[in-house]
């Protein structure tokens, strides 16, 4: 009989209808591949060379406000442009279409040396408030149908500036990953008259196998179908379609769970834990989306230590997503970690 903690098997991600190959026995293999440099250098609270610090000049010339909380501006080197001209190519297999959009940068704090797990919950709540404001403002534009809020943390994830910040890309089309989730949630809702993630969270709370941390309004868990070694997802306990529907209590709960989860990440290898995180929520196309459930994905690359990361190559690129430890094993490791940041431990 198969033992899912020992034997190779596949798990289905119902949000995307894609499979992940789980090979728990491979976690025992020796590692002689690439290791990442770990940087623990202390950073100043203000860096005169940082283009995100208050009052500093950015690369393209504008001067940042001397902000004392959060700060948002349109990216000086935006991937999407609001003034993109219309155009479409439809020549058999050669297809292209103009894409309008807006790219924004959000500074989480004026303090250059902070990251989310080291911020106060009240200050993280201000970030959540700004997310709500930006989702409303950008989503109200008639050419914007999707607002993607995300954060890249750490050089391993391609983050070029350590100042605490995230981004928002708002665009005309629905991106591929969100489109897959939208289709799956729509189909499930039509068949069951309930949301896919609402039912999923109810089952996870009953099982308690993959719950990492929770509070009165939010849960952080390792998805059953996780691909990245310590992948997690944050879900509200009350089903909402988008971030504007959160109450003040829920927004504070969101900030609290964001901090608690990232503290556990940092404590895993006692390093500022890199990840890419992003919020998936209902499109801003003016339609009702009762099938949608707000959630936030966290995709961290570290696998065995602060210097060994998971590579998505070979089989993963050519065939199927694959992981070497089970979701239950990574959830157990995360759950056991302290909620006191390692930098604050009394030695």
Catalytic residues: 165
Cα distance between residue 237 and residue 345, in whole Å: 31
Beta-ladder partners of 211: 221
Helices 248-269, 121-139: crossing angle, 10 deg rounding: 120
- Distance in angstroms (rounded) separating the CA atoms of residues 152 and 167: 8
Strand duo 302-305 + 308-309: pairing: antiparallel
Q: What are phi and psi of 19, to 5 degrees?
A: -100, 155
* C-alpha distances in Å from residue 227, one per residue of 46, 150, 300: 37, 18, 10
- Shortest CA distance to 105 belongs to which of 171, 169, 167, 170? 167
Supply the DSSP string of 194-241, one letter for each residue: S-HHHHHHHHHHHH-SSEEEE-SSEEEE--TT--STT-EEEEESS--S
Q: Residue 236 and residue 226: Cα distance in Å, rounded?
A: 19
CA angle 191, 195, 201 (to 5 degrees): 130
Give the gyration radius of the chain's Cα atoms.
Answer: 21
What is the distance between the alpha carbons of residues 125 and 37, in angstroms, rounded to a whole number? 32
Neighbours of 208 (CB within 10 A): 11
Q: How many CA atoms lie within 13 A of 291 on its CB side?
A: 16
Report the candidate in 133, 109, 141, 120 with the shortest Cα–Cα distance to residue 45.
109
């Amino acid at each position: 009989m198969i033992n899912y903690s020992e034997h190779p098997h596949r798990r289905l991600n119902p949000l995307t209808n894609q499979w992940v190959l789980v090979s728990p026995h491979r976690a025992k293999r020796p590692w002689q591949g690439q290791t990442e440099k770990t940087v623990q250098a202390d950073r100043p609270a203000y860096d005169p060379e940082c283009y995100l610090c208050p009052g500093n000049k950015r690369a393209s010339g504008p001067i940042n406000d001397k902000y004392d909380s959060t700060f948002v501006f349109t990216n000086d080197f935006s991937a999407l442009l609001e003034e993109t001209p219309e155009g479409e190519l439809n020549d058999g297999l050669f297809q292209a279409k103009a894409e309008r959009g807006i790219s924004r940068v959000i500074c989480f704090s004026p303090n250059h040396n902070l990251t989310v797990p080291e911020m106060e919950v009240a200050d993280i709540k201000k970030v959540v408030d700004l997310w709500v404001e930006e989702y409303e403002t950008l989503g109200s534009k008639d050419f914007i149908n999707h607002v993607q809020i995300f954060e890249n943390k750490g050089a391993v994830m391609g983050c070029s500036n350590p100042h605490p910040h995230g981004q928002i890309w708002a665009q005309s089309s629905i991106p591929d990953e969100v489109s897959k989730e939208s289709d799956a949630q729509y189909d499930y809702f039509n068949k069951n008259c309930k949301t896919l993630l609402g039912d999923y969270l109810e089952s996870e709370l009953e099982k308690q196998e993959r719950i990492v941390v929770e509070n009165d309004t939010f849960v952080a868990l390792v998805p059953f179908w996780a691909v990245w070694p310590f992948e997690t997802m944050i879900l509200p306990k009350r089903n909402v379609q988008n971030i504007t529907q959160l109450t003040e209590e829920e927004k504070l709960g969101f900030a609290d769970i964001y901090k608690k989860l990232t503290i556990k990440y940092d404590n895993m290898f006692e390093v500022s834990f890199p990840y890419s995180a992003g919020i998936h929520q209902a499109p801003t196309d003016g339609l009702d989306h009762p099938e949608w459930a707000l959630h936030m994905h966290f995709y961290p690359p570290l696998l065995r230590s602060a210097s060994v990361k998971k590579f998505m190559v070979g089989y993963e690129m050519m065939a199927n997503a694959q992981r070497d430890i089970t979701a239950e094993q990574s959830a157990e490791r995360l759950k056991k970690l302290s909620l006191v940041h390692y930098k604050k431990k009394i030695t």
